[in-house]
């Protein structure tokens, strides 16, 4: 079982460029999430999707868009990258909705914006 797979693992962008981070899970989970992790700040929720066809903003959504393509896939798009978006991005999934279930995380995508 692959679990949660994120691509790419590393990316360097110039300010103003766009890119999409891809995430897929093979556990048939309903809920999927995008977090960013910065030193000393913990994981912060960008967007989440409680089920296929729905998405909602988290704590830090500005500058990002998401698409829940189907039950397996949840992508995160940066339309015009800024240096403040340099971070490690984690996709996660869970079986349950309501924040009661454990999260399964991918290995992360390390993004640098110059």
Partner 1 sequence: SQKIEQNSEALNIQEGKTATLTCNYTNYSPAYLQWYRQDPGRGPVFLLLIRENEKEKRKERLKVTFDTTLKQSLFHITASQPADSATYLCALSGRIDMRFGAGTRLTVKP
79 contributes a contact to partner 1 by CB under 8 A: no
CB nearer to partner 1: pick between 19 and 45 = 45
Nearest to 18 by CA among 68, 65, 87, 71: 65
113 contributes a contact to partner 1 by CB under 8 A: no
Count of residues making up the chain: 114
> What sign has the CA pseudo-torsion 60, 2, 108, 82?
negative
User: What is residue 16's DSSP assignment?
Assistant: T
CB of 15 vs partner 1, minimal distance in Å = 26
Are 44 and 50 in contact by the 8 Å Cβ rule? The answer is no
What would the x/- binding string for partner 1 be over residues 35 to 74, using CB under 8 A? x----xxxxxx------------xx---------------
Question: What SS3 state is found at 83?
Answer: helix
Segment contacting partner 1 (CB under 8 A): 22-30, 61-69, 71-79, 95-103?
Answer: 95-103
Count of residues binding partner 1 (CB under 8 A)? 22
């Amino acid at each position: 079982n692959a679990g949660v797979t994120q691509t790419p693992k590393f990316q360097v962008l110039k300010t103003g460029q766009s890119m999409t981070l891809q995430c897929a899970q093979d556990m048939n989970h309903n809920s999927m999430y995008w977090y960013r992790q910065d030193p000393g700040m913990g994981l912060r929720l960008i967007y989440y999707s409680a089920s296929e066809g729905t998405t909602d903003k988290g704590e830090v959504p500005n500058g990002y868009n998401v698409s829940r393509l189907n039950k397996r896939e949840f992508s995160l798009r940066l339309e015009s990258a800024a240096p403040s978006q340099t971070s490690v991005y984690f996709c996660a999934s869970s079986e349950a909705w309501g924040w009661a279930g454990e999260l399964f995380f991918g290995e992360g995508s390390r993004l640098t914006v110059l």
